[in-house]
Amino acid sequence: MTAIHTSTSATENRLREEIAEIGRSFRNLGMAPGTSGNISAKLEDGWLMTPTNASLGALDPAEISKLDWDGNLLAGKPPTKESFLHRAFYEQRPDTGGIIHLHATHSAAVSCLNGLDEHSCLPPITPYFVMRVGRLPLVPYYRPGDAALGDAVRDYAADHAAVLLANHGPVVAGKTLEAARNAIEELEETAKLYLLLRQHDVRTLNEKEIDELRDAFGAQW
């Protein structure tokens, strides 16, 4: 049953529309097949979360779930069963404004590979990956919906704005929803490059070059 909430702020309405627009964009880019993936945004009195079994390409802004910080549904339809992934980041990263989890093809493919560096699944191939995503640790495999996955993500979230769930896909937090969107698109493109280059001798950024990105852009690597 859809919860009833009679009053919404201009900020909440704007974020509802933004979530729906971003969902359509991901679907058009082929990054959100079927009903996979979920998007959330922080409010002053709780947070917005895409509903369970919803296609990101066909979101009704009015039906997007609104939750309080105890997980109670205040408005909209029931939230995705993966909402605990988002809550883990919000609790550990107070400056987070938006979070996105996708099953995008290339990053999901990387998550299925053996032999990944668990401290950073993708190497520093481009400066944009270093600046927008940073180190991408691998979270061990848990079945979908297992609440223990939230506890595992929480262990990484304080020090990392993005993680890769083994055999699943990425979760990315940003200071704003737009920042999270840009970061996860950059992550997906880097995963694609990584897969294309796996049989080649790749030049990655060296420590001096990464230090320059830290100094100039505050890169978290």
Are the C-beta atoms of 33 and 107 separated by less than 8 Å?
Answer: no
- Domains, in order of start, for the chain: 10-199 (3.40.225.10)
Per-residue model confidence (pLDDT) at position 145? 86
Contact of 164 with 107, CB cutoff 8 Å = yes
The closest of 56, 69, 59, 62 to 102, measured between CA atoms, is 56
Q: Which residue in 21, 63, 91, 128 is the catalytic one?
A: 128
Q: Of 12, 18, 82, 185, which is the active-site residue?
A: 82
Q: Which residue in the block uniquely carries the two structure tokens 């061990």? A: 140
Range list of β-strands (E), 11-121: 38-43, 46-49, 65-67, 73-75, 98-101
Indicate if 63 belongs to the active site.
Answer: no
Please confirm, yes or no, whether 21 is among the known catalytic residues.
no
List, for the chain, all residue ranges whose pLDDT scores fall below the cut of 50. Answer: 1-6
pLDDT at 27: 96
What pLDDT score was predicted for residue 7? Answer: 59
Q: What is the pLDDT of residue 2?
A: 44
pLDDT on residue 8: 77
